[in-house]
Amino acid sequence: MESTPPQDMAPEMDWHLARALLEWQVEMGVDECIAESPVDRFDLPVEAPRARRQQPEAPVVRQEIDAAEMARQAAQGAESLDALREAMAAYEHCELKRGARNLVFSDGNPAARVMILGEAPGRDEDREGRPFVGRAGQLLDRMLEAIGLSRSAEEPEEAVYITNVLPWRPPQNRDPKPEEIAMMLPFVQRHVALVQPKVLVLMGNIACQAALNKRGILKLRGGWSQAFGLPVLPMTHPAYLLRQPQAKREAWSDLLSLKAKLETL
């Protein structure tokens, strides 16, 4: 039911009168209100205007970092061992750096004919910032002394130079991961090129993986090969010899092979 106001209703009325009229109309059953001017509903748009669609945000482009390539560029720019050490210290793409105390770069005489490539620093090495200073390092020193070599020797013929594949200690002394080895390999290659040794000794599986892309040190040990343009000799790591003393006989054989090689140079 619809209702229209009386034609003679005054345009202005007080609040009480307006309420009384409204209550009267509700009492009479009015359920719709009529506007003052008619509405042509056939003239309405067929569809209500759609809200403007919000433009999607441009996707964030994440640039993938080639950590090995960054290492290669940093290593190639190093013209000296000091510069290489600085380049490695400034390298921020290896997560091992964040958990290590010190960068373990090298020890010994860089003029030595023999360069020893180990695996990674342990707890003692991380604390002191030098490679092979723990129990395994002490055993290594005794092994080298047995064939007339020492890291403290001044004469190149009697000296050794020692470094590692990784300069930072892996957590809990775990084995380095393949991607960590690949990441730091350009620094190893540059390190060898700057030292220019006559012979490279690969201590353990990780060193063999980095230099020869092979593992299985118990099969590789004692067999001369080539890497980085040098003759290389894989040997069992001194830490393994501490756990397996019976393997020292084979290690002694490898040391004699190294001594013989040096005599031919």
200: CB partners within 8 A, 6+ apart: 114, 115, 116, 117, 192, 211, 227, 228, 230, 231, 232, 233
- One-letter identity of residue 116: I
Mean pLDDT confidence for 224-246: 97
- The amino acid sitting at 237 is H
Residue 251 has pLDDT above 80, yes or no: yes
Sign, CA torsion 104/108/109/110: negative
Query: Mean pLDDT across the stretch 37-41?
Result: 66
Domain formed by 68-264, architecture: 3-Layer(aba) Sandwich (3.40)
Kindly report the pTM of this predicted structure: 0.75
Q: Per-residue pLDDT for 125 more than 90?
A: yes
Q: Is the pLDDT higher at 17 or at 97?
A: 97
Average the pLDDT over 73-84 and give the result: 97
Query: What pLDDT shows up at residue 43?
Result: 66
Residue 172: per-residue pLDDT? 92
**pLDDT for residue 69 is more than 50:** yes
Q: What is the mean pLDDT of residues 163-182?
A: 96
Q: Which of 60-69, 152-161, 203-212 has the lowest mean pLDDT?
A: 60-69
Domain borders along the chain are 68-264
195-213, pLDDT tens digit by residue?
999 999 999 999 999 999 9
Within 8 A by CB and 6+ apart from 202, the residues are 117, 208, 211, 212, 220, 227, 232, 233, 234, 235
Q: Averaged over 32-38, what is the pLDDT?
A: 68
Q: Hunting for tokens 């200073």 — which residue is that?
A: 133
**Mean pLDDT for the stretch of residues 8-17:** 62
Q: How sure is the predictor about 18, in pLDDT bands with cuts at 50, 70 and 90?
A: confident
